[in-house]
């Protein structure tokens, strides 16, 4: 029946999301979800929306969300766009701002949705190799291009780019749009939002899924010059005039307004991440520096696929990417202290035979 497919569908290779197991007795460290629930104020706001007004369409412009984002970052309403998760916002950006004759540039090791968008929208693109230690080097992007997009911190590596380097890129790359995907920025990187008023070709994309625990509501937003935002609105209104439902709008506003809860849970995750990194390094892992709510690690003594399999046997799920240069790494979401403690203990048990063998060989 695939003869009914369009030529585009035949060509695309869809994005593969992280596994969402049906079992509930798992330690799920594979999709970078926040281990802590959303703010109690979010739950109250969402419950209040369960009313007769659900028969009415939501605000097509999500102005309450835009206003909350603008207030949080000191922007105007015209500088903010809201969408159904940052994936949708990025998809609109690819079509509205990044489809040109010159190739779009992004890292060769990065969020794997980028090449999917390029195939769907027929965007010409080239990948730019990350360095030997898997870092993004922005000076490599100073060449003819139809746009630049990269995550900061990068995914799946967790490595961040300094704001000074981003500023230098914007100073030199003035003829195309630079999209910075800041899905994980709250966990340790510096946001480029502060550069928006100075650089009209900068678009910053964020999400409430990670640091504010709203992955189930699907709220993302972009911030940039009003003309960039207008381009996103034009595309959005050609696809979906009502991207955010009433529950998502109410929950998003409450999450943005409750700064105290956000800062408390974020800080807990950062502390747990640093503790986990220390434990893994004690076990012999090579761990990349992370500014995200996950870590990227490999062990020289055990194959990554085997390690992931052995963890799954212990009801712990992590993410493996069977891709060149990173096939020996595992991406591990930072969970609660208890979950990460169980992970570290399980890894110690799995690796114990190899450690014992090394001790005997030394004797």
Task: Show the domains of the chain with their CATH numbers.
Answer: 2-35+260-362 (3.90.1150.10), 40-258 (3.40.640.10)
pLDDT digits (tens, 9 = 90+) for 151-183: 999 999 999 999 999 999 999 999 999 999 999
pLDDT digits (tens, 9 = 90+) for 307-349: 999 999 999 999 999 999 999 999 999 999 999 999 999 999 9
DSSP 310-358: HHHHTTEE-EE---TTTTT-EEEE---HHHHHHHHHHHHHHHHHHHHHH
**For residue 185, what are its two tokens?**
């920025």
79 — phi, psi (to 5°)? -100, 5
pLDDT digits (tens, 9 = 90+) for 277-289: 999 999 999 999 9
* Residues 45-49: contacts with CB under 8 Å, at least 24 apart: 45/250, 45/251, 45/253, 45/254, 46/217, 46/247, 46/250, 46/251, 46/254, 48/250, 49/246, 49/247, 49/250
The confidence band for 9, taking pLDDT boundaries of 50, 70 and 90, is confident
Contact 254, 47 (CB under 8 A): no
Residues in the chain: 363
Smallest CA-to-CA distance from 18 within 32, 36, 1 is with 32
207 — phi, psi (to 5°)? -140, 155
Alpha-carbon span 162 to 361, nearest angstrom: 44
Residue 350 has pLDDT above 60, yes or no: yes
Residue 31 has pLDDT above 70, yes or no: yes
Smallest CA-to-CA distance from 82 within 226, 220, 285 is with 220
Residue-level pLDDT at 10: 72
Alpha-carbon span 295 to 66, nearest angstrom: 31
Cβ atoms within 10 A of the Cβ of 118, count? Answer: 20
Residue-level pLDDT at 1: 65
Smallest CA-to-CA distance from 228 within 208, 204, 198 is with 204
pLDDT digits (tens, 9 = 90+) for 107-152: 999 999 999 999 999 999 999 999 999 999 999 999 999 999 999 9
């Amino acid at each position: 029946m695939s003869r009914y497919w369009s030529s585009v569908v035949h060509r695309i290779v869809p994005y593969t999301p992280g596994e969402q197991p049906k079992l509930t007795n798992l330690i799920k460290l594979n999709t970078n979800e926040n281990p802590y629930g959303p703010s109690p104020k979010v739950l109250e706001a969402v419950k209040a929306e369960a009313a007769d007004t659900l028969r009415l369409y939501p605000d097509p412009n999500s102005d309450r969300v835009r206003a909350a984002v603008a207030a949080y970052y000191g922007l105007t309403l015209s500088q903010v766009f809201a969408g159904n998760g940052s994936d949708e916002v990025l998809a609109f950006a690819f079509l509205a701002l990044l489809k040109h004759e010159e190739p779009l540039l992004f890292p060769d090791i990065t969020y794997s949705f980028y090449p999917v968008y390029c195939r769907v929208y027929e965007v010409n693109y080239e990948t730019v190799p990350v360095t030997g230690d898997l870092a993004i080097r922005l000076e490599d992007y100073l060449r003819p291009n139809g746009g630049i997009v990269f995550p900061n911190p990068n995914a799946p590596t967790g490595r961040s780019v300094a704001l000074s380097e981003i500023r230098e890129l914007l100073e030199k790359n003035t003829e195309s749009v630079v999209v910075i995907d800041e899905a994980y920025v709250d966990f340790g990187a510096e946001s480029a939002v502060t550069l928006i008023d100075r650089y009209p070709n900068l678009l910053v994309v964020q999400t409430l899924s990670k640091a504010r625990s709203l992955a189930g509501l699907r709220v993302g937003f972009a911030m940039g010059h009003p003309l960039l935002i207008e381009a996103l609105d034009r595309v959005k209104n050609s696809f979906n005039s009502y991207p955010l439902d009433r529950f998502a709008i109410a929950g998003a506003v409450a999450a943005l307004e409750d700064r105290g809860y956000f800062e408390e849970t974020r800080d807990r995750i950062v502390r747990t991440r640093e503790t986990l990194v220390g434990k893994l390094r004690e076990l012999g892992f090579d761990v990349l520096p992370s500014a995200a709510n996950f870590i990227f690690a490999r062990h020289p003594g055990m194959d990554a696929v085997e390690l992931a399999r052995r963890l799954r046997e212990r009801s712990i799920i992590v993410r493996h990417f069977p891709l060149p240069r990173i096939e020996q790494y595992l991406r591990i979401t930072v969970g609660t202290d208890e979950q990460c403690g169980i992970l570290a203990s399980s890894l110690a048990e799995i690796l114990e035979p190899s450690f014992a063998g090394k001790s005997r060989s030394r004797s």
